Amino acid sequence: MALLEVKRVWKHFGGLVAVRDLDLEIEEGEIRGLIGPNGSGKTTLFNVITGIYRPDRGSVVYRGEDITGKPPNVVTRKLIARTFQQVSLFGGFTVMENVRVASHMARRAETGDRDGEQKSIMDALELVGIAQFKDKLASDLPFGHQRALQLAIAFATRPRLLLLDEPLSGMNPKETAEMVHVIRRIREAGVTVWWIEHNVTAIMGGCDKVSVLNFGQKIAEGKPEEVQKDQAVIESYLGTGEKVA
């Protein structure tokens, strides 16, 4: 059984079809990429999975359970975490405090194991490589580190599935390379990762398998080297030579 199954999902906004009859499965333990032109429905798909939008048709099944249209707080409790395309942090809180909020929310059902909580916060910061900045204000971090902090926040909720929406956008090449390593370490820690990205080099190098959307439809899926050679993918996305966000 796949960890996540998206079954014949449709999502419209008025007359616009953002996601069209989409079937997709994510296996436990993989790093999956999701690519496609601007406006091809990638973020909308994550929004449908995490309960921000209810699909017009179709279903989302997670670990065999139908979670279609369940609200985001319920989805989070099922150990699905995500990061957003725009960085959103508590700028006036320190790095550690930002992670503590997430960690605390995830553990509110547990009884106050403060030492355990502190350790998991530091583990998350170490994993993304920003533990030395733990007492800095989040707003004082350079952009690349703010993105890393976003990842630490998501990781601190101890997800089983982590959805990342363009975690590399705005990063310089050095930060990009570091982040790809971080994503691999997150997988080694037992988390399944599904990752939207426009940085094709990074995604082709960092994923086990890549799915490609165009106008809300899946047009290709497979190992990076297969997808890169796919004619429909080259025509709609890779071969355009156009600069994308």
Ligand X SMILES: Nc1ncnc2c1ncn2[C@@H]1O[C@H](COP(=O)(O)OP(=O)(O)OP(=O)(O)O)[C@@H](O)[C@H]1O
Sole binder of Mg ion in the list 24, 36, 43, 212 (CB under 5 A): 43
Contact 54, 102 (CB under 8 A): no
Query: Following CA atoms 200, 206, 211, 215 in sequence, which dihedral angle do they give, to the nearest 10 degrees?
Result: -30
CA distances 166 to 25, 87, 151, 209, Å, are 20, 10, 11, 16
- C-beta closer to ligand X: residue 74 or 244: 244
Q: What sign does the dihedral 74-123-145-191 (CA atoms) show?
A: negative
Q: Binds 18, which of Mg ion, ligand X, none (CB < 5 to 8 A, cut-off by type)?
A: ligand X
189 lies in the binding site for ligand X (CB under 6 A) = no
# binding residues, Mg ion (CB under 5 A): 2
47 lies in the binding site for Mg ion (CB under 5 A) = no
Q: Binds 82, which of Mg ion, ligand X, none (CB < 5 to 8 A, cut-off by type)?
A: none
- Tell me which residues in 84-143 interact with ligand X (CB under 6 A): 85
Q: What are phi and psi of 70, to 5 degrees?
A: -70, 140
36 lies in the binding site for ligand X (CB under 6 A) = yes
Contact 144, 89 (CB under 8 A): no
Q: Binds 40, which of ligand X, Mg ion, none (CB < 5 to 8 A, cut-off by type)?
A: ligand X
What is the helix (H) or strand (E) element at residue 96, kind and residue range? helix 95-106
Sole binder of ligand X in the list 15, 38, 92, 109 (CB under 6 A): 38
Q: Binds 13, which of ligand X, Mg ion, none (CB < 5 to 8 A, cut-off by type)?
A: ligand X
In angstroms, the CA 29 to CA 206 distance is: 14
# binding residues, ligand X (CB under 6 A): 13
Stretch of 43-51, 145-153, 180-188, 216-224 contacting Mg ion, by CB under 5 A: 43-51
Query: Following CA atoms 234, 237, 238, 244 in sequence, which dihedral angle do they give, to the nearest 10 degrees?
Result: 170
Interface residue list for ligand X (CB under 6 A): 13, 16, 18, 36, 38-44, 85, 245
